[in-house]
Each structure stands twice: as structure tokens, then as C-alpha cells.
Structure 1
Amino acid sequence: MKILHTSDWHLGQSFLTKSRREEHQAFINWLLILIEKESINAVIVAGDIFDTGTPPSYAREMYNQFVVAISKLNCTLIVLAGNHDSVSTLNESKDILACLNTYVITTAGEDIHRQLFTLKNSQAEIGAILCAVPFIRPRDLLTSSGGETGLQKREALGEAIKAHYHALYAAAVDLRDAKGLTVPIITTGHLTALGVSQSESVRDIYIGSLDGFSADAFPPADYIALGHIHRPQKVAKSEHIRYSGSPIPLSFDELKYNKQVVIVEFISGKNISITPFDIPLFQPMAVLKGDLDAIKVQLQNVANALNDQPTWLFIEVEVQDHYSDLQQRVLAMADEYHVEVLKIKRARGKNQPVLTQQIQETLAELDPFDVFNKRLALETIEGDQAEAQLERIKNEFKEIVTEVAYQEPSE
């Protein structure tokens, strides 16, 4: 039994006004070749198939074309909703896609047995049982009650998520026993687990006590396929609990590590290998740092790479003097080369609090914490209690965002 784990595709993303359409199509083409080459039996997309709840038409078309293509490879596709996905959007084609061996799970609030799936191996026999857990919203598992503090609500949600995982796993064990099978049980999730490294493009889902869901709260599944964190990594040093990460860099800081999908192979119910496969970089991107002279040298090096596509750049400039025309200077330097400057930042000195300057940055590319941190960076807080005061301000802001997030939507 071979299963491929991927997540966080974010189809339809606009990256500093640039479309990722060609990159995503190149990734899908590469993935289909890998699925066929490795004889994959099932693919799990662990959340955030789309970047927004109202993806552009080309992103929906790309998604549907992928479903048709993978169905021709005799491979089961499991698509889980993430925090970026719209339940109603994914549900639109759910029943039709089921006819193409694709199963879409959008909410944890429905009958628990509808979140259990048997996956077939190459011999068309049951090779694994899947506990399909999408992104969990508080209203999926909890009923709002008055008088609870934000902390109490977060603690209740954490316990509810843990109980849901264990109830689903127990149902999977019962199903396995009832069928007399010795197959692995796999579970999924779209959340932040404790002890992981995030990137700038990841927006926290659970706040406060649920900044991370403890790894020991997961049931003893044979493999746990997670989404939401864009950096591929193990959780709590456990080989079988993993984030596959996003397939393309969704922010410039994600260039620090290779993108991957993970292939898990089982024989006779036992995990025999977990193999990450590096994904090619389909769009040249680079971060340049230094003073203007150093930036010029780095621009020449980037140009010498001879890429067919222009390289997208984030340039962080260290300057001693305050140039009012810094952005124009940088753009003029870059104009000589086969590059596109998407973001410019002036490195801040101790007495030089300035906001990041981004070309055509929009509010759609920022979350409340981005805006708050940018504003907080302009303040000068000094004294022995400065660090504690900053932490208190940040925690109070988290509490406000939490209260807003937990409000029941109006009918």
C-alpha cells in the first residue's frame, strides 16, 4: 500500500500581485508523473487546496482537471478542507467527484462514520483505513455558551478536538476488527502541532493555549498526515507524524528549505518506509540583502543563473543614510537584469523605525497580526519592563482576536 501525502496547495494564490497559475500547473504535472511512476494507491491533500473561499475560475478548473487526471491512474484522492477553504465551495462538486474515486471531507461536525474510509491497494483489496479529519472549526464540535472566557473556550476546544480524534480512531479499530483485517490506520489533520517551525505565510489557526495541539493528544495511528504548516517536518521527533509542507514557496522565507511530498509505504499492515520527495522550484525566486553595492553584485549573480523566467526578488537594503528615493534607486539597478522586484525593505537600525515597503502590497495579503506587528514596530518601548510590556500587549491583542474568531456567525 503506497500513500502520497501533500498539503497546502493554495490554488489561486496572488503573491504580491503575481499569479501562481503556471507554478501550480507545473507542480500538478510533476505530481501526476510521480504518482504513476511510484504506483501510488492513494493521495491525501491535507487541507488548503485553495487559497481563498472564492478561488478564481482557473483555480477551480485546475482542481477539476487534476481530479480527472488522477482518476485515470487508478488512484484514490482524498481532499480535506483547510482553514483557507470554503466548505460550500468544496461541497459544490463533492458528490460528482465521488464518482471519480475522489472523496472530499469538509467538516468534522457530521456523522463520524462518514469520516472513515477504506483505501484499496494495487490488488484492489483494503490496504488501509483512513480517519479523515479536516480543519476543525469550534462550531463543528462545540455549542457556544455565555459567560465563558477566551481561555475557557480554547481549553474546551482542545479537549473536544482530542476527543474527536480518539472517537474516530476507535471507530476505525472497530471497523478493522469487524472485517478481520490487519491493515494500518491513518489519520489526518489541518492544525498547528506543538514544536513545529512556521513560515511568514502561515496564519495561526488556534490562538493562546491552542497555538499548538500537543502531539501526545493524537491517537496511536500508524501515520498522521498533517497540513497547515508550510515547512516539511516531523512533529515531536516522531517519524510517523509529519507535515508535508506546501508544494511551492508561498513567501520568500520559505526559500530556506526544499519543498516536498511524502510517500508512505505499508506491507502486511506495517510501515516499511517514509520517503520525502523534493519538488523542483518552478519559479525562480531569491532574497538579496546588503548595502546598495552588495545588492548590485547579487543582482549580477542572479542574472548569471540564465533562467528562462524572470527571477522574483525580495530586496532588503542596509543603508547608513536615509534615502528618500531608495525604492527608485533599487528599481533602477534591477531594471538592467532579467528580474522582477516584488518587495523592498529598508533594514532598520536602532533609531530608524520604518515600516516594510512593499510594492503594491494589499490588505488581502495581510492578516490582523501582520498589521498589528507593523504598527507595534513603530513604537519605542524602553525600560526594565519593556519585554514584559511588549508580551502583555501582544497577549491582549491575541485575546481580542480570539474573542472575535469565536463569535457565532449571524444568520
Structure 2
Amino acid sequence: MKILHTSDWHLGRSLSGKSRYNEFSLFLEWLATTIEEHKIDTLLVAGDIFDTTTPSNKAQALYYRFLCRISKSCCSNVVIIAGNHDSPSFLTASKELLHELNVFVVGSATENLEEELIILSKEDAPRAIICAVPYLRDKDIRTAKLGETIDDKNANLVNGLKEHYDKICLLAESRRQQLETTETGHIPIIAMGHLFTTGGKTIDGDGVRDLYVGSLAHIGKDSFPSSINYLALGHLHTPQPVGSAEHIRYSGSPIPMGFGEANQEKKVVLIEFENAKPIIKELAVPCFQRLISITGSFEDIQTKIHQLKNENSSAWLEVEYTGKDVLSNLHEMLIEILSESFMEIIQLKNRQIMNRIINAVTQNETLDDLNPEDVFVRCLDAFEVPNEDREELITSHKEILKSIHEDDLNAD
């Protein structure tokens, strides 16, 4: 049985207001073709299918069109779990309909663990057991207790995550004992998850949100049951194994989510099993839209742009001017240089202008210039709250903001 692991599509995401539907469409076309060429039996999508809980009609159309296409291919099953960006109720609204296409969707944790357990069969014989664990929200794995400290909350989150995987894997092991025969051979247990593991690599500006409030955003690889033969993870955008555990992996996002990921090779993961031992191969995802960062003096920037024009580049550019002269008309100057090219400036940073603004007296500052955390800290300053009392107050404020952010707008 051949299994393909991907995650973090973030369908509908834009880059500094620039639509990326063409990239998403090209990726899904490539993915469908790859599934057919490699004769993939099962596709695993480990969360963050959409970028927001209320995806646009275009994003939804890409999603459903792709699933319809591969349901007619060699791919017998698709397993999709929700990530922290996804709306559980939106994903599960089409659950019954998609089940007819052998697409299994798990949007949120429930009391019935059987709903997270999926038996994959080929030629009417069980071939793998999937523990499809979605993104586990704080309320799914931790019960608030009166008087608990921040460290208590963090410890309870770790224990809650570990306990959930322990329970679902025990159920999978029990089911495996019932299903295994001489004909089936050893049936692998494949788990899924959308979380942050200890030591996971991130990149500045990748948009990866903290999953939990406080110091705990990570769970160690040793917290997962040893019965898992492969763990397909989502959330981190950099493709990577978790430490030395090659069978615990992030596939990463399929397209760069920002300029910080521009030079990163994107991948999906192909897994086959020999007596439940995974044989892992990474497949490189093509670059569908080149992103290039240019930093330096005006002359440096001009030279690089001319070089790219000579290459007939169609890249999207992030330009940061670091020269000493103050160029108030920098944008107009660059637009003129870019004329008769296929390139666009997506982000422009003028270091001198920025420094002038930062150093200026901000007497006309408004709420639009501040984020919620800034406002809260200023409130603490205004009421002269002692430093020793601030940590718990700031943590509580973050918890409230997070609960608002995770409110499922599609739920009843």
C-alpha cells in the first residue's frame, strides 16, 4: 500500500493582498497527477486545508474539485483532519457526502474515539489502521481547575495530548489484533496530528500560530506511543522529521507561505510498508511562483532587478532599501525600473523612512497602530500593575484572545 502525506495547504491565503489561487490550482493539479503516476492508494492531509474558518467560494471549489478528481483515480481513500486554521463544523458539514467518495473527514475530537479510527482496505483485505487525530483544542484535552498555576496548565496540556494518543493507539492495537491474519501480515498503525513538537523548525514570517497559550506549544517525540509505525504531522511549514525519529514527520506546506520560505524546497512524503516498517521517500513539489527578496542600497537593488529582467523573470519581489539616503519616492523609482517586465513588488521596506517614523513623536497614534497585546500592556502600565502580577494577567488575556480566535463561526 502506497500512502502520500501532505498538509498545510492554506487554500485561500494571500500574500500582502496578492491572490494566490493560481498557485493553489497548479499545486492540486500536480498533486493529482503525482497520485496517478505513483499509483498512490491513500492520501493523508494533516490539517490546515483552508487558511481561514470561512473559506472563499474559490477556495472551496478548488478543494471539492480536487477530491472529485482523485476519487476517480487509483487513490482508494483520502483521510483529512482539521488544523487550527480550519473550521471543524465547516469541514464536517460535507462529511457524509464525501464518505461516499471514500474521503474520511475528522474535524474535531469527540468522546467516541471510534470516530477517529479508520481501517484502510485494499482488495477487501485490511492493510492499515489510521488514527486520524485532528487539532486538539485546549478545551478538548484540559479541564480548567480553580487555583491552578500557569505551569499546572502547561503540564495538563502535555498530559492531555499524551493521554489522547495513548487511548486512540490502544484502540488501534486492539483492532489490529482482531484483523491480523496470516494473509494480511502485520498491519501498520498510522497516526495523524496537527501540533507542534519539541525541536520543530520554523521560519520567521511563516504565519505559524502558537497552538497553546503559555510556554507549552510543543510535545516531545517520546510522548507518542511506540505502536505508531508512521506519524503524519501538520502545522509546521518546513518539511522535516522530528529529531532522530524518521517515522514522525512534517510534510510542510506545499507552497511558500511568505518570503522567508522562498528558498525552501517544498515536499510531500511517500510511505510504503514492509512488515509494518515504513519506507519513506520525499517528493519535491515544483515552484509555481518564484519569490525573491532583494536587500541593499538603491544601486544594489537596481542591479539585481536588471539581472532578473535579463532572465525574463516573473518573480514576486520583496525589496528592502537599506541605503543612507532618504528616498521618499522609492516606490515610483522601482516601478519605472520594473517597466516592461513580468515582475511585481509585493512588499517594499524603506529602512530610512521606517526609522524616521519610529523615532518620531507619535502624538497622533491611534488604536489602528497597535495590536491587542500592545493595548493590554499599556492598560497595565496605566494602572501601575506590578511586574510580579503581570505574567498571569497577560497569559489570561492571551487565553481569552485565543478562545475568540478559535470560535467556530460555522457552528450553530
* Cα deviation code 1:194-226 (max 9, x no counterpart): 101112221221233322111111112111110
- Taking the TM superposition and a 5 Å limit, the aligned residue runs for 1:310-329 are 310-329=314-333
Deviates more, 1:320-329 or 1:338-347: 320-329
For 2:258 and 2:214, how far apart are their aligned partners in 1? 24
Of 388, 397, 400, the match for 2:397: 400
SS of residue paired to 2:47:
coil
For 1:163 and 1:129, how far apart are their aligned partners in 2? 19
Match of 1:71 in 2: 71
* Cα deviation code 1:213-253 (max 9, x no counterpart): 11111112111110010110111121111110011111111
* Cα deviation code 1:327-359 (max 9, x no counterpart): 33333333453211010123479977849xxxx
Amino acid in the other structure paired with 1:253: G
Match of 1:245 in 2: 252
Contact in 1 for aligned 2:150/2:392 (Cα 8 Å)? no
- Taking the TM superposition and a 5 Å limit, the aligned residue runs for 1:297-376 are 297-307=303-313, 310-347=314-351, 354=358
For 2:260 and 2:81, how far apart are their aligned partners in 1? 26
Deviation at 1:120, TM superposition (A): 2.2
Match of 1:213 in 2: 219
Contact in 2 for aligned 1:138/1:406 (Cα 8 Å)? no
Deviation at 1:131, TM superposition (A): 0.6
For 1:394 and 1:257, how far apart are their aligned partners in 2? 36
For 2:225 and 2:243, how far apart are their aligned partners in 1? 14
Report the TM-score when normalising by structure 1: 0.85
For 1:348 and 1:167, how far apart are their aligned partners in 2? 57
Match of 1:262 in 2: 269
Contact in 1 for aligned 2:138/2:212 (Cα 8 Å)? no
Contact in 2 for aligned 1:132/1:187 (Cα 8 Å)? yes
Number of residue pairs the alignment of both structures matches: 382
* Cα deviation code 1:45-98 (max 9, x no counterpart): 000000101101011111111111111114211111001100111111111000
Match of 1:179 in 2: 179
Unaligned runs of 5+ in 2: 360-366, 379-386
Unaligned runs of 5+ in 1: 356-362, 377-388
For 1:178 and 1:400, how far apart are their aligned partners in 2? 48
Deviation at 1:401, TM superposition (A): 1.4
Amino acid in the other structure paired with 1:88: S
Amino acid in the other structure paired with 2:96: D
* Cα deviation code 1:251-293 (max 9, x no counterpart): 111112100000011133222x211111111112211111111
For 2:138 and 2:393, how far apart are their aligned partners in 1? 21
For 1:281 and 1:351, how far apart are their aligned partners in 2? 35
SS of residue paired to 2:215:
helix
Contact in 1 for aligned 2:239/2:266 (Cα 8 Å)? yes
Amino acid in the other structure paired with 1:343: Q
Aligned-pair Cα RMSD in Å:
3.1
Contact in 2 for aligned 1:311/1:338 (Cα 8 Å)? yes
Contact in 2 for aligned 1:47/1:134 (Cα 8 Å)? yes
For 1:15 and 1:393, how far apart are their aligned partners in 2? 35
The answer as to 2:103 corresponding to 1:102 is yes
* Cα deviation code 1:21-45 (max 9, x no counterpart): 1111111111111111111111000
Give the 3 Å change call, closer, same or farther, for CA 316–398 of structure 1 in structure 2.
farther
Give the 3 Å change call, closer, same or farther, for CA 152–62 of structure 1 in structure 2.
same
Deviates more, 1:165-174 or 1:318-327: 318-327
Please identify runs of 4+ aligned residues in structure 1 that moved more than 4 A: 347-355, 366-369, 392-399, 406-411
SS of residue paired to 1:18:
coil
For 2:86 and 2:407, how far apart are their aligned partners in 1? 17
SS of residue paired to 2:164:
helix
The answer as to 2:285 corresponding to 1:288 is no
Contact in 2 for aligned 1:247/1:260 (Cα 8 Å)? yes
Report the TM-score when normalising by structure 2: 0.85
For 1:82 and 1:331, how far apart are their aligned partners in 2? 39
Percent of residue pairs bearing the same amino acid type: 37
Contact in 2 for aligned 1:191/1:227 (Cα 8 Å)? yes
Match of 2:84 in 1: 83
SS of residue paired to 2:166:
helix
For 1:57 and 1:265, how far apart are their aligned partners in 2? 35
- Taking the TM superposition and a 5 Å limit, the aligned residue runs for 1:7-46 are 7-46=7-46
Match of 1:138 in 2: 138
Contact in 1 for aligned 2:196/2:235 (Cα 8 Å)? yes
SS of residue paired to 1:209:
coil
SS of residue paired to 1:208:
coil
For 1:292 and 1:351, how far apart are their aligned partners in 2? 17
Match of 2:243 in 1: 236
